[in-house]
Amino acid sequence: MELLGDNGIVSNSKFIANTAKNLGGAIHLDSEGSKINNNIFLNNINTISSQVSSNNIDCNWWGNNASNYADKPNEYCDNWLFLNATADPNPMELISTSEISFKLYLYNETAEEKITEYDHTLLPAINLTLSSTKGTIDKENIGLDEIITYTPNALGSGSVTAMIENVEQTIELEIIRQNPDLSFEDQETTYNKSATINIQYKEEATGKVNVKLEGEQFNYTLRDLELNTVLSLGDINSDTYTVTVEYLGDENYIEANATGTLTVKKIQTEIIPTKDTININIGDTSNIGYSLDPEDAVGDIVFTSSNESVATVDSTGAMNAMAIGTATITLALSSINYEAPNATVTVTVSKKDTKITAASVTTTYNVAKNLVKTLKDNKGKPISGVQVTVNLGSNKKYTTDKNGQVKVAIGKLVPKTYTAKISFAGNSVYEASSATAKVVVKKATPKITAKAKTFKFEDKTKKYTITLKDNKNKVMKNKKVTLKVHGKTYTAKTNSKGVATFKLTKLTKKGKFTAAITYAGDKYYKKLNKKVKIIVKAPAWKTVARGSKDKATVKKIQRALKNNGYYLSYKGRYLKVDGIFGVHTERGVKQFQKSRKLKVTGKVDYTTAKKLKVTK
């Protein structure tokens, strides 16, 4: 053991020698160890070694302290004893104990090792009376080298004093706050909105702590937390943090810091697409639906398409089908606290199915009516601007309008029953489709306009006209029409005005007749019959014969006969125009009739009169 003289600290040990108080008294021990009461410092103890064998110690000095152990008690002393006290530990924490002992040391100023522990062999037993401040001791009376336990009860400077007679030795003790032994080990947790960390410290410590978390992406500072083995950090984002726990201390424990690492891991999450596969048609839209497990996971889903020429997708998951093919839509979770493997949805884009609808239609020739065909997609949406082929005896192409319709006029088709074949060849967006429809075109019914007609008997040629028009009231040109009356059939063709004129040359009798007019029809028009009444009036000329009293008329006949070379003379006598229808007049009529190849009757009927150009 080595002592540091001036401050009393014993090196290489935990002993702290504090200042002992010298009361100025002296203690003499005789050779038998009896006390000698006087107030004179004795001689030095140079003779101790020589007197040990005779057990005769005639002088010694005791009462010096550890701070002035090198001061001679008097000029004659070369060697002397001094009392020193040690405490382990010192300074000491409030909530701890220190072991204290009092020992004698020999100081020899001439020796190489000036201070040595004295072995008490030349001394009688020494009893020390102890007292303490700011703490308690487990013993109040001890001998040299005996260890006592000091328990502090207040902060500051405490002491233990040893006393023998009027001499005392005091050791001062520094009582300090205790180290809380704060520590924090590296920890790992999963984000849960209520993060905690565990710290260790002496359980008697109380007070507050501050926590600082410094991460790669986030920093947090939490102040004035209640000291606890589990500190609640609250909603701390996933990151790797350097954690500093700063203990603010209390009345018994000193401030302290502890550091470590806290790793807050992301919660493992699953992206669950609503559908793993989507079949969609070109031009259609759909939405990529999904859910997260756990349901309360927070983050953004990033959508990407492997083939944007086939299908595109925006940030909301809205998808557009662009062209035939297959694309993979990838769903990735972007989140601070949740982590999920990517999910995928396979999108197959196909052409749109189409459907042609066409209702059967019946019409009449020359009536404006259409066969209507409608082309729609699989969702019932009209398809406009595409070509559709219609076969009604031959193929013709039409372009659908904004309603997806094609209208084919059928009013001019040759009347019959057709099966219309309608087809759409398809394109890069739409599938092909076809349909059939029954089309019936009936013959039209024309119209004959014919009115009852009255002729004069005297008319040599009786002309009768009718008008032929179609079902749209338009004239029908160059159409053959027949008229049958009184057993005779007459034929005529309509002119540019639809008028047919019949010449009834053989209708020579008076009377009322029913004429049957017939249009035989053709491939467009039905046959049509119509009946009308035709009247031939009785002739206005009454037959004049021999003996007639109508002298005026007879005179006209006689003149006409003369003009024609008849009724000129008889047996050399000139025949007079006298108005008497006699034998000579009758003979002249017969001659005229014979010459004109008329029936020779001698009577002037309507025919003969007409030849004679005689009127009443």
More confidently predicted of 40 and 523:
523
Residue 323: pLDDT band with limits 50, 70, 90: very high
Give the lowest-confidence range in 76-90, 121-135, 316-330, 375-389.
Answer: 76-90
Over residues 269-305, the pLDDT tens digits come to 999 999 999 999 998 999 999 999 999 999 999 999 9
**In sequence order, which residues have a C-beta less than 8 Å from that of residue 337 and are 6 or more positions away?**
191, 237, 238, 266, 267, 298, 299
What number is the average pLDDT over the span 196-204? 94
The predicted model gives 562-572 an average pLDDT of 90
Cis peptide before 294 (omega within 30 of 0): yes
Mean of pLDDT values over 214-239: 96
β pairing state of 343-350 and 277-281: parallel
Write down the pLDDT at residue 57: 35
Q: What is the pLDDT of residues 410-452, one digit of tens each?
A: 999 999 999 999 999 999 999 999 999 999 999 999 999 999 9
Classify residue 488 as left (phi > 0), alpha (psi -120 to 50) or beta.
beta
Residue 67: per-residue pLDDT: 65
The amino acid sitting at 512 is K
Mean pLDDT of 156-179: 89
Half-sphere exposure of residue 598, counting CA atoms within 13 Å on the CB side? 20
E strands of 121-215, at which residues?
A: 127-133, 135-137, 141-143, 148-152, 156-164, 167-176, 187-190, 195-198, 208-215
Determine the pLDDT at residue 107: 85
| CA 375 – CA 495 distance, rounded (Å) | 46
The per-residue pLDDT for 542 is 86
Contact 263, 217 (CB under 8 A): no
Residues with Cβ within 8 Å of 443's Cβ and at least 6 positions away in sequence, in order, are: 364, 365, 415, 521, 523, 524, 525, 526
Residue 227 vs residue 16, higher pLDDT:
227
CA proximity to 244, closest of 220, 265, 226, 268: 220
The two structure tokens encoding residue 67: 């701070």
d(CA 367, CA 412): 8
Q: Residue 514: is its pLDDT beyond 50?
A: yes
* Residue 359 scores a pLDDT above 90: yes
pLDDT recorded at residue 484: 97
Euclidean distance between CA atoms 451 and 156, whole angstroms:
151
Tens digits of residue pLDDT in 9-65: 222 222 222 323 332 333 333 333 322 222 222 223 333 333 333 333 334 455 545
358 closest CA partner among 444, 418, 284: 418
Asked if residue 331 lies in contact with residue 345, where contact means CB atoms within 8 angstroms, the answer is: yes
H/E run at residue 51: helix 48-51
d(CA 6, CA 26): 23
Domains of the chain, first to last: 2-176 (2.60.40.10), 187-265 (2.60.40), 268-350 (2.60.40.1080), 354-442 (2.60.40.10), 447-536 (2.60.40.10), 551-612 (1.10.101)
How confident is the prediction for the chain on average, in pLDDT? 86
pLDDT over 60 at 187, yes or no: yes
pTM score over 0.75: no
If you average pLDDT over residues 510-539, what whole number do you get? 93
Cα–Cα distance measured from residue 613 to residue 244, given in angstroms and rounded to the nearest whole number: 153
Spatial contact of 125 and 104, defined as CB atoms under 8 Å apart:
no
For residue range 458-511, list pLDDT tens digits in order: 777 899 999 999 999 999 999 999 999 999 999 999 999 999 999 998 888 889
Backbone angles phi, psi at 552, to 5 degrees: -65, -45
